[in-house]
Chain A
Amino acid sequence: MSTQKLKEIIKQVLPDVEAVICWQEGFDKLNVTPIFITSPEQAEKVVWNPLCAQNLASYLPSQKKKVAVAVKGCDSRTIVQYMQEGLIDRNNVVIIGIPCKGIISKKKVQKAIGNEPVEDVSFTEGSVKVKTPSGEKTFAIADVCPSKCTSCQYPTPIVYDQLTADPIQSDKPAESVYADVAELEGKTLEERKAYFLSQFDKCIRCYACRNACPMCVCQDSCIAETRDPHWITQKLSLDEKLMFHMIHALHLAGRCVECGECERVCPMEIPVAKLKKKINKEMKELFDYIPGVNPEDKPPMYIFNVDEAKIKEHKL
């Protein structure tokens, strides 16, 4: 099993680094939480299973010393993006790559079991068995995975120093990545407006999406809260909610690595990532740029061409 291999690798790299960032079991069997491993004994606590949803690469920009981090394919794009933007020093990070066949959305499982307490969770190839007081239920991982997994293009990390298992290739078509965006684009302006307003109306402005976002690196200097006069007021209105999500989307323009953390943490189940995916789709079309794929690239909003091949002047 790759968990065993993961533990071996952790013990192997531990002497060279300050800490190894990995996952451990949470308060119950359905929850997994991050752990900073500093001693070989702690390495035994490590787990790797489809519940390991957190993007641990998010910790990297705030680390002062050399650390190792365990990443899935999708998480590795975060690291590549950090490298593009000069937010981390690659020499100060040991990347333990984990080829991943899909993770589980905890919320989907909880919904399917009627929010009952979980007694045990076990995994077999491609499925998960959840034991609750009222019995056992088995789900195919493909049925309870977050939407990002259904169009995953990078099951194997793009950058890594060590790999816990053999690399795997994506079996999802490249067109499927922006299928949800294309579906919305097919609707009328009014339908889209109604859709987004009803979604963002649910927002309670907890800012969890921002706090979980690996690319929201401003931390305590976020423009949503720190400037005077304020960009958004405390007024409880749809416009203010919309403004916050536009701030998030525009500051991630051409930077969002589609790790899905914003949607995972949203307590109101708002499709927060849709706006960012739409921008990514346009970035691909305009500048042939996909965030977090090639460490040598520069984010499109950081650079320009004197003659833009694909930007045409708009006529009135």
Chain B
Amino acid sequence: MSEVAPKELRIVGFLCNWCSYGGADTAGVGRFRQPTDLRIIRVPCSGRVDPMFVVRALLTGADGVLVSGCHPRDCHYTDGNFYARRRLEMLKRLLPFLGIDDKRFHYTWVSASEGAKWQQVVTDFTKQVHALGPMHQK
């Protein structure tokens, strides 16, 4: 693996297999230009994303974490993202209390056909994290 460019930050993305991972693929197939800071981890469902994944990522080197799943009501497993929504909202409200800027964490819903939306989400979130700068001092 090549050395990470100095200006690049580490953003970890947890994407559900059925919608957002497909959405990212669609964006790739459509050749939509995207920032390269995002490292994608494919999970079966956004309901699989334990809030601790996000905390662990942020504490061990990530500068931002993005979670994306199927739109509510569209979950491949019927209700996984409904649980995820509650958990991630709880985490979103807890992080700033601990002194971690909640702008470093974002959760959203992107379907497999929304390649353009995916490009928008990645671009905007990367921009937002870059505005905050690196989370960890080297």
Residues of A within 8 A of B (CB): 181, 184-185, 189-190, 192-197, 231, 239, 242-243, 246-247, 249-250, 253-254, 275, 278-279, 282-283, 286, 300-301, 304-306, 308, 311, 313-314, 316
A184 and B96 CA atoms in complex are apart in Å by 11
User: Which residues does chain A contribute within 8 Å of B87, judged by CB atoms?
Assistant: 253, 301
Q: Is A278 within 8 A of B97, CB to CB?
A: yes
A193 and B97 CA atoms in complex are apart in Å by 8
User: Which residues does chain A contribute within 8 Å of B90, judged by CB atoms?
Assistant: 253-254, 279, 282-283, 286, 301
For the complex, is B4 an interface residue (Cβ under 8 Å from A)?
no
Q: Is B125 within 8 A of A316, CB to CB?
A: yes
Interchain CB contact (< 8 A) of B99 among A193, A231, A253, A279: A193
Interchain CB contact (< 8 A) of A249 among B73, B93, B94, B125: B94
User: Which residues does chain A contribute within 8 Å of B83, judged by CB atoms?
Assistant: 301, 304
Among A194, A195, A286, A316: residue with most chain B CB under 10 A: A316
Among A181, A195, A197, A308: residue with most chain B CB under 10 A: A308
Q: Is A250 within 8 A of B73, CB to CB?
A: no
List 10 A-B residue pairs with CB atoms under 8 Å apart, sorted by A's residue number: A184-B97, A192-B99, A193-B98, A246-B55, A247-B52, A250-B55, A275-B97, A308-B86, A311-B89, A314-B108
Q: Is B52 within 8 A of A316, CB to CB?
A: no
Q: Is A250 within 8 A of B101, CB to CB?
A: no
For the complex, is B92 an interface residue (Cβ under 8 Å from A)?
yes
- How many A-B residue contacts, CB cutoff 8 Å? 91
User: Which residues does chain B contribute within 8 Å of A231, judged by CB atoms?
Assistant: 52, 56
| A196-B99, A197-B99 known; A250+B51 contact, CB < 8 A | yes
| A278-B97, A306-B73 known; A316+B124 contact, CB < 8 A | yes
For the complex, is B8 an interface residue (Cβ under 8 Å from A)?
no
Q: How far is the CB of B100 from chain A (nearest CB, A)?
A: 7
Other A-B contacts than A242-B59, A283-B90, 18 sampled, CB-CB below 8 A, are: A195-B99, A196-B99, A242-B98, A243-B55, A246-B59, A246-B98, A249-B94, A250-B94, A254-B90, A275-B97, A282-B90, A301-B83, A301-B86, A301-B87, A304-B82, A314-B106, A314-B107, A316-B124
Interchain CB contact (< 8 A) of A189 among B50, B96, B109: B96
User: Which residues does chain A contribute within 8 Å of B2, judged by CB atoms?
Assistant: none
Interchain CB contact (< 8 A) of A239 among B50, B60, B91, B92: B60
Number of interface residues of B (CB under 8 A): 35
Residues of B within 8 A of A (CB): 50-52, 55-56, 59-60, 72-73, 79, 82-83, 85-87, 89-94, 96-101, 106-109, 121, 124-125, 128
A181 and B96 CA atoms in complex are apart in Å by 12
Q: Is B85 within 8 A of A308, CB to CB?
A: yes
Q: In the complex, what residue of chain A is closest to B73 when comparing beta carbons?
A: A306
Q: How far is the CB of A197 from chain B (nearest CB, A)?
A: 7
A300 and B55 CA atoms in complex are apart in Å by 21
A308 and B100 CA atoms in complex are apart in Å by 25
Interchain CB contact (< 8 A) of A275 among B72, B86, B98, B100: B98
User: Which residues does chain A contribute within 8 Å of B72, judged by CB atoms?
Assistant: 306
Q: How far is the CB of B122 from chain A (nearest CB, A)?
A: 10
Q: Is B98 within 8 A of A304, CB to CB?
A: no
Q: In the complex, what residue of chain B is closest to A312 when comparing beta carbons?
A: B89
Q: In the complex, what residue of chain A is closest to B59 when comparing beta carbons?
A: A239
Interchain CB contact (< 8 A) of A304 among B51, B52, B79, B97: B79
User: Which residues does chain B contribute within 8 Å of A278, judged by CB atoms?
Assistant: 93-94, 97
A275 and B93 CA atoms in complex are apart in Å by 11
Q: Is B99 within 8 A of A189, CB to CB?
A: yes
A96 and B50 CA atoms in complex are apart in Å by 38
The 7 closest A-B pairs by CB, nearest first: A193-B99, A304-B82, A316-B124, A192-B99, A282-B93, A239-B59, A278-B97
| A231-B52, A278-B94, A304-B83 known; A190+B99 contact, CB < 8 A | yes
